[in-house]
Chains A and B, each alone.
Chain A
């Protein structure tokens, strides 16, 4: 069980969501969601597959637009920003994708260099090399620098994906199913990496998962998405100390079966 980060600043909301609704064709996945993320906090969003967890962080990063409601990230309402303003905001929000989303025609080095070339134009080649080596060391994969993504394992790809988001020094990290498809040992390493990122880079994070081991290891607070709304929130114990059958089934599957 993770110790709650003492550096969480409850006065400073880095993400504020009110009355968020989103539907796809006739199916409404988010039905008036309210959420706050505080500076320095790791917030875990739990829920079954298809309940809109990934949709939530895609709306936060501006990949999807909400049907209704307000999403404020670092003081800016995402859906009201002009493209250039949205790009500036995105530089402060790192997104780690479920399948890593590494550019498969580029080496690990080129994957990490890609955002730097575009957003840190003042950097020379030597400085870029230094930054790339630093983030690769931070995720423990310096030896893969010249490899292609297809030559990496699932866990390594996840780590490189996280390294690529860290390279622009984001203030907020969004992790989409960080341990999905990984073996238990690699999952533990990824959980440790998420905590390490929080401590070393002083980031706030939303972690989307249905892996309760991951949730317990990285979360300072959890919320559970049920029927399009956050119906449970608090510490791990507070979320699961309930008679709600759906929540019990979720817990039992992870820790009993």
Chain B
């Protein structure tokens, strides 16, 4: 394909492969690809910013605990309450612990954790890095021969990748406790019976697939937030856009990944 000439307002000619807009789409796709390649290159290359990774894990994990606790607990109660009438029609309310545990472990807890992390952590990363880009703090790191990608991006992506699964496991625990509160009040089920029924219903594959899924969710949230923030355009508007599109894109990708993961897990279940 020949190069098209576009005359610049200065009289200089700029060349585009197809057109300015289409070239930009391909350029953006290439930038996303290059961002991922750079991450996987730099994650193994010293210097390792352990202290910053720990700090980010604290930011992502510990600081999300209050919100995750509250949300998880409420989800457990609400889901149990909403499921009861349907099971009651068949006189099967004794199956509630099994139903609740399957729903929470397989889908609800990983998804809810990822969505909360995308909203709280993803937007924070997008806004923080965007603001650092706008105020030239990233440039300042670069000109002082410090690798800003390593210090800012790698640390945050590692933190979300490892903390989202931990948070998801915690959400499972809290949601199951919420569900127990509801079940024990209505069905007068003992804690031992409840726990036995919960663990009878779920398999190793359920737990394992949830952990793997949440690693992927965490990685996605970290990468999207970092990419949007790190490449945000100049100005305060750019910071807002970076924060907003971090959340929207991360949530969208999390749902797509959930759908794909479901297909893969079903293949394993069929084996």
Whether, in the assembled complex, B140 has its beta carbon less than 8 Å from a beta carbon of chain A, the answer is yes
A28 near B146 (CB under 8 angstroms)? no
Taking CB atoms, residues of chain B closer than 8 Å to A115 are 144-146
Taking CB atoms, residues of chain A closer than 8 Å to B146 are 114-115, 118-119
Size bracket, chain B contacts: 10 to 19
Whether, in the assembled complex, A253 has its beta carbon less than 8 Å from a beta carbon of chain B, the answer is no
Whether, in the assembled complex, B14 has its beta carbon less than 8 Å from a beta carbon of chain A, the answer is yes
Whether, in the assembled complex, B10 has its beta carbon less than 8 Å from a beta carbon of chain A, the answer is yes
A228–B136 Cα distance when bound, in Å, is: 24
Whether, in the assembled complex, A250 has its beta carbon less than 8 Å from a beta carbon of chain B, the answer is no
B10 near A93 (CB under 8 angstroms)? no
User: B44-85, CB under 8 A of A: which get 1 and which 0?
Assistant: 000100000000000000000000000000000000000000
Q: A90-B145, A101-B135, A119-B145 are in contact. Are A23 and B140 (CB under 8 A)?
A: no
Taking CB atoms, residues of chain A closer than 8 Å to B142 are 62-63, 90
Whether, in the assembled complex, B25 has its beta carbon less than 8 Å from a beta carbon of chain A, the answer is no
B144 near A168 (CB under 8 angstroms)? yes
Number of A-B residue pairs at CB separation under 8 A = 73
A64's nearest neighbour on chain B, judged by CB, is B139
Whether, in the assembled complex, A1 has its beta carbon less than 8 Å from a beta carbon of chain B, the answer is no
Taking CB atoms, residues of chain A closer than 8 Å to B132 are 103
Taking CB atoms, residues of chain B closer than 8 Å to A31 are 10
Q: Which residues B24-58 have CB closer than 8 A to chain A?
A: 47
- What's the least CB distance linking A38 to chain B, in Å? 22
Whether, in the assembled complex, B6 has its beta carbon less than 8 Å from a beta carbon of chain A, the answer is yes
A87–B144 Cα distance when bound, in Å, is: 8
A93–B144 Cα distance when bound, in Å, is: 8
Picked from B9, B135, B144, the residue with its CB within 8 Å of the CB of A27 is B9
A114–B136 Cα distance when bound, in Å, is: 16
A114's nearest neighbour on chain B, judged by CB, is B146
Q: A63-B139, A101-B136 are in contact. Are A165 and B10 (CB under 8 A)?
A: no
Picked from B14, B47, B135, B145, the residue with its CB within 8 Å of the CB of A99 is B135
Taking CB atoms, residues of chain B closer than 8 Å to A168 are 144
Taking CB atoms, residues of chain B closer than 8 Å to A103 are 132, 137, 140-141
A119–B145 Cα distance when bound, in Å, is: 8
A63 near B12 (CB under 8 angstroms)? no
Picked from A61, A102, A114, the residue with its CB within 8 Å of the CB of B143 is A61
B8 near A23 (CB under 8 angstroms)? yes
B12 near A97 (CB under 8 angstroms)? no
Taking CB atoms, residues of chain A closer than 8 Å to B12 are 23, 26, 28
Q: A97-B136, A101-B137 are in contact. Are A26 and B143 (CB under 8 A)?
A: no
A101 near B10 (CB under 8 angstroms)? no
Taking CB atoms, residues of chain A closer than 8 Å to B8 are 23, 26-28
Interface residues of A (CB under 8 A from B): 23, 25-28, 31, 58, 61-63, 87-88, 90-91, 93, 95, 97-99, 101-104, 114-115, 118-119, 164-165, 168, 228
Interface residues of B (CB under 8 A from A): 6, 8-10, 12, 14, 47, 132, 135-137, 139-146
Q: Would you give 11 A-B contacts (Cβ < 8 Å), ordered by A?
A: A23-B12, A63-B142, A91-B144, A93-B143, A95-B143, A97-B136, A101-B136, A103-B141, A114-B144, A118-B47, A164-B140
